């Protein structure tokens, strides 16, 4: 049964009553302080030695500046801004402002720390509203700075319902930084995820067994290393925001790609690994022992947690409804899910949950009513999977992981069960962990 005693309000509903096409009306949104999930600044920093330049008004700059400030000196040195003022709407040649602003930053970098091999230049909705000729701007910059690769990025959330999201555009522009080159036989690359794929993943094991080299773009340490993924024979991608980049690579560079969503159930994993083995030209190994070890780990965790209420939010994993179904199938007491949409890949899992766990509370993760704690806090001890779930329910017992932390497959599930066990036994200082904007779980960017 639902844990709340009062009637449902617009911020939540029974899972059985939810429309998979649209959980909640699209209107005013609330952004809670738990912002451990990745944003475009973090993702851009994964291009080694590149410099990010954001050109927009001070209100928009606040968020990205705070993110860069939290990364430490190493990353702050790779971040600059050009502030737009009100008068720039009417009185400024904004093409020239872009060119001069970027030039001023690069001249200072040249003098103080050397020129970067690449610049990720982020324009804003402002430039689209006034019709800035960005093609002219980039043409001038490339002629002026021929030794620098410019990525044409944007921070334009206003148009994201009609065009590419900033996160999608960023990955597309990052892929375009790779020079056109011949595909290296038996070289695969994990591309698009913010965190490196865990080394214990069966994806690595399959590639090794087939004699393939597997690179991970999120683990590149130098710009020279970053160029290697451009010669891949096969791109392996998991993050949904990577699709425009993969489409461009396969259509323009004629490379192959395979989508392996971050699913959790054995049936789904077996299907994915079968598809990967076929692509690698490998007979599928016997994964039964690995499945049995993962099952044992979940069973032991179930005995330990008993009837402890568990909540899950969409930032914890790229496919929360796949994980939710696994938890229900293994007998855990999952009582809440914070999410505002379901992916096509896990729609079947969502429908299964509606039938087999109809009283799970489905909460919006951004409804404005959630700003009031009396609308959401859970009484007693509960365990949260994800920062947002921890913040909304008010629990100090939570697993601080973002995007699944690179965990994939049964070996990763064994490790995740241990992590959850530790989180259920050891309370965290929730407020101090979520106070830092744009920073959460295991991170590839720590100094």
Write out pLDDT tens, residues 140-153.
999 999 999 999 99
pLDDT given for residue 323 in this prediction: 97
pLDDT higher than threshold 60 for residue 272: yes
Instruction: Give the pLDDT score at 305.
Output: 97
For the structural domain made of 12-33+301-434, what CATH number should be given?
3.40.50
Average of per-residue pLDDT values in the chain: 89
What pLDDT is stored for residue 439 in this prediction? 37
> How does residue 375 score in pLDDT terms, banded at 50, 70 and 90?
low
Residue 373 has what pLDDT? 65
Q: What pLDDT is attached to residue 436?
A: 54
In this prediction, residues 256-263 reach a mean pLDDT of 95
HEC-encoded secondary structure of the chain = CCCCCCCCCCCEEEHHHCCCCCCCCCCCCCCCCCCCCCCHHHHHHCCCCCEEEEEEEHHHHHHHHHHHHHCCHHHHCCEEEEEECHHHHCCCCHHHHHHHHHHHHHHHHHHHCCCCCEEEEEEEHHHHHCCCCHHHHHHHHHHHCCCCEEEEEEECHHHCCCCCCHHHHHHHHHHHCCCCCCCCCCEEEECCCCCCCCCCCHHHHHHHHCCCEEEEHHHCCCHHHHHHHHHCCEEEECCHHHHHHHHHHHHHCCCEEEECCCCCCHHHHHHHHHHHHHHHCCCCCCCHHHHHHHHHHHHHHHHHHCCCCEEEECCCCCCHHHHHHHHHHCCCCEEEEECCCCCHHHHHHHHHHHHHCCCCEEECCCCHHHHCHHHCCCCCCCEEECHHHHHHHCCCCEECCCHHHHCCHHHHHHHHHHHHHHHHHCCCCHHHHHCCCCCCCCCCCCC
Indicate whether 96 pLDDT > 60.
yes
**Predicted pLDDT at 4:** 46
Say what the pTM is. Answer: 0.90
Looking at residue 324, its pLDDT comes to 97
* Domains in the chain: boundaries: 12-33+301-434, 48-176, 187-280
Mean pLDDT of 87-95: 85
Domain 187-280 in the same topology as domain 48-176: yes
Q: Does the domain at residues 187-280 carry the CATH identifier 1.10.1740.10? A: no
User: Does the 48-176 domain belong in CATH 3.40.50.1980?
Assistant: yes
């Amino acid at each position: 049964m639902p844990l709340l005693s009062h009637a449902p309000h617009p911020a939540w509903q029974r899972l059985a009553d939810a429309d998979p096409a649209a959980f909640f009306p699209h209107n005013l949104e609330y952004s809670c302080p738990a912002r451990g999930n990745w944003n475009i600044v973090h993702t851009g920093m994964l291009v080694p030695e590149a410099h990010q330049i954001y050109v927009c008004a001070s209100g928009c700059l606040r968020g990205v500046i705070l993110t860069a400030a939290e990364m430490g000196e190493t990353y702050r040195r790779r971040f600059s801004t050009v502030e737009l003022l009100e008068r720039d709407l009417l009185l400024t040649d904004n093409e020239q402002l872009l060119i001069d602003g970027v030039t001023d930053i690069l001249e200072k970098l040249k003098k103080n720390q050397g020129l970067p091999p690449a610049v990720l230049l982020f324009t804003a909705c402002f430039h689209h509203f006034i019709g800035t000729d960005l093609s002219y701007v980039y043409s001038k910059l490339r002629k002026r700075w021929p030794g620098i690769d410019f990525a044409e990025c944007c921070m334009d959330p206003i148009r994201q319902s009609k065009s590419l999201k900033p996160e999608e555009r960023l990955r597309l522009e990052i892929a375009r930084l790779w020079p056109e080159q011949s595909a290296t036989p038996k070289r695969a690359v994990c591309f698009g995820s913010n965190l490196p794929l865990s080394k214990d993943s069966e994806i690595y094991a399959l590639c090794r067994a087939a004699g393939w080299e597997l690179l991970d773009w999120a683990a590149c340490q130098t710009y020279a290393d970053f160029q290697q993924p451009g010669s891949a024979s096969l791109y392996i991608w998991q993050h949904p925001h990577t699709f425009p980049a993969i489409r461009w690579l396969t259509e323009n560079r004629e490379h192959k790609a395979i989508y392996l969503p971050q699913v959790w159930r054995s049936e789904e994993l077996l299907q994915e690994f079968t598809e990967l083995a076929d692509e690698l030209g490998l007979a599928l190994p016997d994964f039964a022992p690995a499945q049995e070890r993962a099952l044992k780990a979940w069973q032991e965790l179930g005995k330990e947690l008993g009837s402890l209420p568990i909540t899950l939010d969409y930032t914890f994993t790229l496919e929360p409804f796949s994980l939710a179904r696994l938890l229900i199938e293994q007998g855990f007491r999952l009582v809440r899910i914070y999410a505002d949409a379901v992916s096509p890949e896990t729609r079947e899992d969502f429908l299964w949950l509606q039938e087999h766990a109809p009283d799970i509370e489905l909460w919006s993760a951004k409804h404005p009513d959630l700003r009031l704690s009396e609308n959401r806090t859970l009484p007693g001890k509960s365990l949260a999977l994800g920062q947002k779930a921890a913040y909304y329910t008010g629990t100090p017992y939570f697993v601080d992981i973002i995007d699944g932390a690179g965990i994939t497959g049964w070996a990763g599930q064994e490790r995740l069960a241990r992590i959850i066990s530790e989180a259920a036994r050891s309370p965290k200082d929730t407020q101090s962990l979520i106070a830092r904007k744009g920073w959460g779980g295991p991170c590839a960017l720590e100094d």
